[in-house]
Each structure stands twice: as structure tokens, then as C-alpha cells.
Amino acid sequence: NAGVTQTPKFRVLKTGQSMTLLCAQDMNHEYMYWYRQDPGMGLRLIHYSVGEGTTAKGEVPDGYNVSRLKKQNFLLGLESAAPSQTSVYFCASSRAPGTGSTDTQYFGPGTRLTVL
């Protein structure tokens, strides 16, 4: 199993450009998450999904959109990138509650995004 994979690994954008980050998991997990990691701030939740076709806002959702059209994929979009969105983005997935092993989240390797 590949676990959680993310593409691309690195990206440089100019202010105002758009892009989509792709997260894929092969563990049949119901829940998926997008976080951003900034120095000294740990990871902050951007958006999450509790199942195919459903998404919800996290702690820092502004400037981002997400879609979960397939259970195994969770896309994060930036419609008009800003320098403040320079960060490392992590995707994670987990089982739904009550399905065995509790709520361990499995993380992808991250995408390093720079917005100039």
C-alpha cells in the first residue's frame, strides 16, 4: 500500500495564479483532511471531509476550496494565490469512528508551496 500520497511535491506560483493539490489514499478511509504547516504554529486544519461528496471548513479555510468527488481523493484548490499562502501543505486520512482503530490520522509527505 502506498498510504497517503500528494502531488506535486513542490510548486512555485505567482500571486494571483491558481492551482490544485491532489491527495490520494489507498486505505479506504472515510475521513480526509488538509492542513498547512507554518513555523512555530504547528499544523492548522484548512478543510476536511467525512465522506465522499461532503466537505467542511476547518480553522483556516479562507482562500481555499476543496472537493471530494471520489472516496480516495481529496483536492485542495487555490483560486488566486497570495504570498500568505506560502506554506507546507499536508493531507491526512483516518477511519470513521466506531470502525476499529480509533482516530489515528495518516499523513502524506507534504507539498511545499511558494507564492511570489
Residue 10 interacts with other proteins (CB under 8 A): yes or no: no
Exposed e or buried b per residue across 6-40, where buried means at least 16 C-beta atoms within 10 angstroms of its C-beta: beeeebebeeeeebebebbbeeebbbbbbbbeeee
Residue 96 interacts with other proteins (CB under 8 A): yes or no: yes
Consecutive H or E run containing 105? none
Stretch of 14-22, 66-74, 77-85, 94-102 lying at the interface with other proteins (CB under 8 A): 94-102
> If you ran DSSP here, which 8-state letter would residue 53 be given?
T
Residue 98 interacts with other proteins (CB under 8 A): yes or no: yes
> If you ran DSSP here, which 8-state letter would residue 72 be given?
T
Stretch of 20-28, 62-70, 73-81, 96-104 lying at the interface with other proteins (CB under 8 A): 96-104
Which positions touch other proteins (CB under 8 A)? Answer: 4, 31, 33, 40-45, 48, 50, 58, 90, 92, 94-98, 102-110
